[in-house]
Amino acid sequence: MKFADRIQRLGTETAFAVSSEAAAWAAQGHKIYPFHLGDMNIPTPANVMEAAVKAMKDGKTGYCPNAGVPKLREILAADVGASRGVRYSMENVAVQPGGKPTIGKFFLSLLNPGDEVLYPSPGYPIYESQIEFLGGVPKPYRYLEGERTFTIDLEMLKRQITPRTRILVLNDLQNPTGAECSAAEREALAELVLKHDLYVLCDEAYFDIRYEGHSISFVSMPGIADRCIILYTFSKKFAMTGWRLGAAIGPKPIIDVIAKLNVNDESCSNHFIQYAAIEGLTGDPSGPQEILRVLKERRDLAVEMLNGIQGIRCLRPNATFYLYPNITGAMQRRGFSDYESFRRSLLQATGVSVCARIHFGRPLPGETDFYIRLAYSGIDASEIRAGLAEFKAFVEG
Ligand code: PLP
């Protein structure tokens, strides 16, 4: 087979390779503690499931409009607008089969070959993959580990800007660090965006996965909503990862292009699931509240246990369901100098399966500390306790 040149540039989510490795290890009869994949083992709220079944029985099984069921678009516009302090109408919403499709469709709409894109590294690996696939030039910016949170290295980000820079990808409430922008970061970024005339992809996949306080969207900054597409997803808030439903939300001209891409790709998102989403947004809110309660309990347990391991330092993010501990000391202690041998040895000795910094974009020059990512969305508290006890014994010997 001779594939198109662009296929050489297509990346992937290497976390899925970690998953396959863990599954193969489990198939040999070994116990696994699945901290690697950001999937969820918490059920979708019952009212949401019932609404999907009802919609199916009511005959919502044919195609629906390409940009989504009008009622869902209206409700999303009102809901997302109210929580972000922006006025949206249904014309600002194009429903998608998940949050992820918004990434590729946003770049397809705005990126010409040679255009430069600022994106986080470590970060969700699909940004880097799609930028390169579509002929863009990846310009990573990093996060720095602080006392209480990770912060954006704004100096590095500024140094990456050139006259060819066209897009900023911002994943506030970030995967994998759990970082949340400070007001000062939002202000500095908004100034850069306006000064350099950038478009923004605001990946808000974890906007509602927070444990205290309220999320503040970058679109609420003056002048930003007009140049920003929000990636919205039902995956996390409603524990609907496998249902595949999300939306692109932003200025009508870009939404029109994205809706045209919908016509060319999937025609429309799953019809009856959109009625389940309406129920999720307008019905009994106790389901998402319970999801957050369960996640918070897991976070507190995991952070405490990780910080009890010699050579590991773990911040306590207020958002997302990921932890990104610094394991430099633990690796030194055990004599490891590379991620893969540490990760594999940990898996084989204890069954604890994790992702590492290398699964979140290419490492940047000058990185000296080592980090892993643990997701606690797909593992119960009792298993967290048992798995991290094994982890401690592995490191401390
Ligand atoms: N963006 C980020 C930062 C993510 O972590 C994820 C999933 O893990 C997504 C987008 C896409 O999620 P989905 O396609 O399930 O909505």
Query: Residue 49 falls within a domain, yes or no?
Result: no
Position 17 scores a pLDDT of 86
Same domain flag for 72 and 216: yes
Ligand 1 atom nearest to 99, measured from its CA: 16
Same domain flag for 147 and 230: yes
Same domain flag for 242 and 371: no
Kindly state if the Cβ of 274 falls inside 6 Å of ligand 1.
Answer: no
Kindly state if the Cβ of 250 falls inside 6 Å of ligand 1.
Answer: no
Same domain flag for 270 and 291: no
Ligand 1 site-directed mutation target among 233, 236, 243, most atoms within 8 Å of CB: 233
Dihedral angle over CA of 259, 262, 264, 268, nearest 10: -120
Position 15 scores a pLDDT of 83
Query: Residue 188 falls within a domain, yes or no?
Result: yes
Same domain flag for 134 and 251: yes
Query: Residue 312 falls within a domain, yes or no?
Result: yes
Distance from Cα 126 to the centre of ligand 1, integer Å: 9
Cis status of the peptide bond prior to 288, with omega within 30 of 0: no
Kindly state if the Cβ of 138 falls inside 6 Å of ligand 1.
Answer: no
Which of residues 247, 282, 317 is at a domain's end? Answer: 282
Does the pLDDT of residue 14 top 90, yes or no?
A: no
Distance from Cα 349 to the centre of ligand 1, integer Å: 30
Does the pLDDT of residue 397 top 90, yes or no?
A: no
Q: Which residue range forms the structural domain that includes residue 214?
A: 63-282
Rounded Cα distance between 324 and 262, Å, is 35
The CATH code of the domain that includes 153 is 3.40.640.10
Position 254 scores a pLDDT of 98
Query: What is the tens place of the pLDDT at every residue in 33-68?
Result: 999 988 999 999 999 999 999 999 999 999 999 999
Kindly state if the Cβ of 101 falls inside 6 Å of ligand 1.
Answer: no
Position 265 scores a pLDDT of 97
Position 168 scores a pLDDT of 98
Distance from Cα 233 to the centre of ligand 1, integer Å: 8
H, E, C per residue of the chain:
CCCCHHHHCCCCCCHHHHHHHHHHHHHCCCCCEECCCCCCCCCCCHHHHHHHHHHHHCCCCCCCCCCCCHHHHHHHHHHHHHHHCCCCCHHHEEEECCCCHHHHHHHHHHCCCCCEEEEECCCCHHHHHHHHHCCCEEEEECEEECCCCEEECHHHHHHCCCCCEEEEEECCCCCCCCCCCCHHHHHHHHHHHHHCCCEEEEECCCCCCECCCCCCCHHHCCCCHHHEEEEEECCCCCCCCCCCCEEEECCHHHHHHHHHHHHHCCCCCCHHHHHHHHHHHHCCCHHHHHHHHHHHHHHHHHHHHHHCCCCCECCCCCECCEECCECHHHHHHHCCCCHHHHHHHHHHHHCEECEEHHHCCCCCCCCCCCEEEEECCCCCHHHHHHHHHHHHHHHHC
Ligand 1 site-directed mutation target among 203, 207, 237, 243, most atoms within 8 Å of CB: 203
Position 386 scores a pLDDT of 98
Which of residues 242, 267, 282 is at a domain's end? Answer: 282
Same domain flag for 118 and 222: yes
Does the pLDDT of residue 221 top 90, yes or no?
A: yes
Position 79 scores a pLDDT of 98
pLDDT (average), residues 196-224: 98
Do the bridges between strand 322-323 and strand 372-375 make them parallel or antiparallel, or are there none, so unpaired? antiparallel
Q: How confident is the model at residue 13 (pLDDT cuts 50, 70, 90)?
A: confident
Position 44 scores a pLDDT of 98
Query: What is the tens place of the pLDDT at every residue in 288-341?
Result: 999 999 999 999 999 999 999 999 999 999 999 999 999 999 999 999 999 999
Query: What is the tens place of the pLDDT at every residue in 132-153?
Result: 999 999 999 999 999 999 999 9
Q: How confident is the model at residue 12 (pLDDT cuts 50, 70, 90)?
A: confident
Query: Residue 152 falls within a domain, yes or no?
Result: yes
Ligand 1 atom nearest to 103, measured from its CA: 10
Which of residues 238, 255, 282 is at a domain's end? Answer: 282
Task: Name the residue among 268, 136, 127, 121 with its Cα closest to residue 202.
Answer: 127
Query: Residue 299 falls within a domain, yes or no?
Result: yes
Give yes or no for a contact between 278 and 298, defined as CB atoms under 8 angstroms apart: no
Does the pLDDT of residue 239 top 90, yes or no?
A: yes
Kindly state if the Cβ of 312 falls inside 6 Å of ligand 1.
Answer: no
Same domain flag for 392 and 252: no
Query: Residue 55 falls within a domain, yes or no?
Result: no
Kindly state if the Cβ of 151 falls inside 6 Å of ligand 1.
Answer: no
Distance from Cα 213 to the centre of ligand 1, integer Å: 22
Same domain flag for 273 and 292: no
The CATH code of the domain that includes 18 is 3.90.1150.10
When mean pLDDT is compared across 11-25, 194-208, 369-383, the lowest value belongs to: 11-25
Position 272 scores a pLDDT of 98
Total number of domains in the chain: 2
Query: Residue 56 falls within a domain, yes or no?
Result: no
Rounded Cα distance between 355 and 349, Å, is 16
Ligand 1 atom nearest to 234, measured from its CA: 16
Same domain flag for 259 and 337: no
Query: Residue 268 falls within a domain, yes or no?
Result: yes
Kindly state if the Cβ of 233 falls inside 6 Å of ligand 1.
Answer: yes
Position 37 scores a pLDDT of 84
Q: How confident is the model at residue 81 (pLDDT cuts 50, 70, 90)?
A: very high
Position 339 scores a pLDDT of 94
Determine the residue type at 201: L
Rounded Cα distance between 278 and 50, Å, is 12
Same domain flag for 303 and 215: no
Same domain flag for 120 and 191: yes
Same domain flag for 274 and 357: no
Kindly state if the Cβ of 175 falls inside 6 Å of ligand 1.
Answer: yes
pLDDT (average), residues 212-224: 97
